[in-house]
Structure 1
């Protein structure tokens, strides 16, 4: 709940003071991916080039950064895309080879021209998809990742979390991160985990192993849990051996005295 409130405040600032939403409506906005959440890969969207594509086509078998955005937003979405684009360039990973970037417009009223204006000069090229969709497709996608919005009809705006998710190639939600408090290292590791350590080389796999805590669900990944259990058992065994050695040594000193 606290994460949702923080993300909501970021998404609505600085327009919060003039928002046309009620307190109850604002309370419904949030970002809360469920454990084992998975996006429907068969959902159909319209790409920026005008073609109809499925989410499976956009992901294209790679770990994916899925960034929901309001293409006509005048506040947070533009800077969020700039931050994400800059962070991706600093990860050392290559779009179209190591990962896919999927930017989805959260407002079904947005057009392809809106999408072009929003993303122009910031993202593009291989492995990048900018999508618009119907109300039904967007509801299914956003619902799958626990991303809840509210329309402010008075100001023709949408209140939404400033957040994105990384997806495994099979559509499984791996991580959820703030799109404003984003560091290149965190993004790289999130994509590495989404790829199950198969991208980024040996150093990436080592980093992934050291970064197995899942902040979305508050649990350690299965692989890290196993490593921690082995490490914990080894530590207990070593401590027990040291205590035993000290006891034996102490008894021998007592006997010799």
Structure 2
């Protein structure tokens, strides 16, 4: 079983308050801390390359040859999209760490949109070409269970060359770590218009039904959002031997902790003043 720790920040333009973003960060931190340990061997220069940063006008190659993991039939990415606005989620089918909640939370958000299943698609694409259709079906069964039938879910597997072509076109960079047999990759979902254009980059760990409904509606109308977002890996550097995070991650976690404490303090201060006013 391959494990990798990765953590992303919600992309700008998704809506939501600073408080919700802080709570999201805390929930993601909990996921990382609860995950089985992995030995991070990639250096900072490698991790700096991990991102989802599509260039303006980026478009998924619709003629890309893929295999539908559910049916085992060869098809193309364009046939899988079928002209629908699509949430494309690159995943490692055997990751067993953050990939599972990414898929689960994306499915929940799609179900909460209230949109008919035929009006959109959730497409999973395996970034590890060694993962076959059986691995994809096993992940879906263990992660979604019966919920998979309630959404327009299309799990795909592809050859190494096809995966490289797709990720290159989308500006999606994942780095393989041979020492841990795992992929360092951004926790990112790409919202595609029906013609394959990248409309937005979203964090699947911070999606809400309301926000996703709006994003899918805009993508269905062909409106493309800003693509300046960069979802970078932040939580890969856990040293399992020493049981501590690397200095970069330690600094990030320290800053996040300080911000959280200040936010809680401001909330308590505001509630105290409000209580005194009401009492007076």
Matched, 1:86 2:97: no
Per the alignment, residue 194 of structure 2 pairs with: 169
Residue in structure 1 matched with residue 214 of structure 2 by the alignment: 189
SS of the residue corresponding to residue 88 of structure 2 reads strand
For 1:18 and 1:75, the matched residues in 2 are separated by 14
Q: 1:17 to 1:70 in 2, by over 3 A?
A: closer
Asked whether the equivalents of residues 5 and 30 of structure 1 are also in contact (C-alpha less than 8 Å), the reply is no
- Alignment check: 8 A CA contact 2:52 2:173 kept: yes
Matches of 1:126 and 1:52, distance apart in 2: 21
Contact persistence 2:174–2:185 (CA under 8 A): yes
User: Which sections of structure 1, spanning at least 5 residues, go unmatched?
Assistant: 198-211, 219-257
Q: 1:214 and 2:214 equivalent?
A: no
CA RMSD of aligned residues (A): 2.6
1:29-63 deviations in Å (ceiling 9; x for gaps): 11111111111100011111210010011001111
The answer on whether the counterparts of 2:85 and 2:120 sit within 8 Å (CA) in structure 1 is yes
Where relative contact order (Cα < 8 A, 6+ residues apart) is larger, the structure is 2
Please state whether the residue corresponding to 1:86 is helix, strand or coil.
Answer: helix
Q: CA deviation at 1:90?
A: 0.5
In structure 2, do the counterparts of structure 1 residues 110 and 160 end up closer, same or farther at CA, with 3 Å as the change threshold? same
- Closer, same or farther: CA 40–29 of 1 in aligned 2, 3 Å: same
Matched residue, 2:73: 51
Q: Provide the secondary structure at the position in 1 that maps to 2:125.
A: strand
1:76 has 2:87 as partner: no
**SS of 1:190's equivalent?**
helix
CA distance in structure 2 between the aligned counterparts of 1:26 and 1:144, rounded to whole angstroms:
20
State how many pairs are aligned.
Answer: 199
Distance verdict in 2 for CA 1:17–1:119, change over 3 Å: closer
Q: Which residue of 2 aligns with 1:156?
A: 181
Residue 50 of structure 2 corresponds to: 29
Q: Whole-Å Cα distance in 1 between the matches of residues 182 and 38 of structure 2?
A: 14
| 1:181 Cα deviation after fit | 1.4
CA distance in 2, matches of 1:143, 1:216: 15
Report if aligned partners of 1:63, 1:99 keep a CA contact under 8 Å in 2: yes
The answer for unaligned runs of 5 or more in structure 2 is: 1-6, 11-24, 230-280
TM-score normalized by the length of structure 2:
0.65
Distance 1:6 1:90, change over 3 A: closer
Instruction: Give, in whole Å, the separation in 1 of the partners of 2:151 and 2:59.
Output: 24
CA shift, 1:127, in A, is: 3.5
Shift of 1:6: 4.0
> SS in structure 2 opposite 1:61?
coil
Structure with higher Rg: it is: 1
User: Counterparts of 1:36 and 1:154 in 2: how far apart (Å)?
Assistant: 36
Cα distance in 2, alignment partners of residues 103 and 6 from structure 1? 21
Q: Structure 1-normalised TM-score?
A: 0.71
